[in-house]
Homo-oligomer: A and B are copies of this chain.
Amino acid sequence: MSDWRDFGPDTLSPPLRAALVVFARHGYHGASIRMIAEEAGLSVPGLYHHYRSKQAILAALVDTAMDELFEHSEAAVEDAGGDPVARFENLVESLARFHMARSDQAFVASTEMRSMDPGVRDHHIAQRDSQQAMLEDTIRAGVDSGDFACEHPEDAARAISSLCVSISSWYRPDGPLTADDVVARHLHFARGMVGAGPGRRGR
């Protein structure tokens, strides 16, 4: 990856991009294979050639998003080197940027948990948990190094993840805040949540 901060245009295949549009607009249960095929400019059998069911499309869509988030998050942490605070901050930044760049995918993944078959849901929860565990690890490392004062790293990791997820519900590229503004403010909030003190690192 050239730059973990840069998400660029999404890399979805045409059927998955069509499904994203239809799911975001009508919800999974309100969407039909026919609607997705029409949006993708495919015939219904053509769509079935790629995916065996609406459920398989939902699974592929959510998987693609989680893979992308995980890849950027790993690169963000690696880029920070050994400093616990920088690892934490880069990881929060990658979460915030993902939820701005991929807001529709994040919205579908979080609102359609109830629509996932048990196997698909379990896999998605495991991916989300591992993402949250990565954040928890950086918080624990910051506590160990004396940079953070945080009694409940697990709860802080969940809270910061939730906060970053919620960005996808209101952020608009043409809104009053730039992506960099959103990142700066959420880094500030996240530092406050782990007891890092607002002024540290001169931000």
Contact = CB atoms under 8 A, between A and B. Distances in A.
Interface in A18-56: 24-30
Contact of A115 (B27, B158, B170, B193): B27
Count class of interface residues, chain A: 35 or more
A186 interface: yes
A159 interface: yes
Q: How many copies does the complex hold?
A: 2
A155 interface: yes
A158 B155 CA distance: 20
A166 interface: yes
A89 to B, nearest CB: 15
Contact of A166 (B151, B165, B195, B198): B165
Interface of A: 24-30, 110-111, 114-115, 149, 151-152, 155-156, 158-159, 162-163, 165-166, 169-170, 177, 185-186, 188-189, 191-195, 198
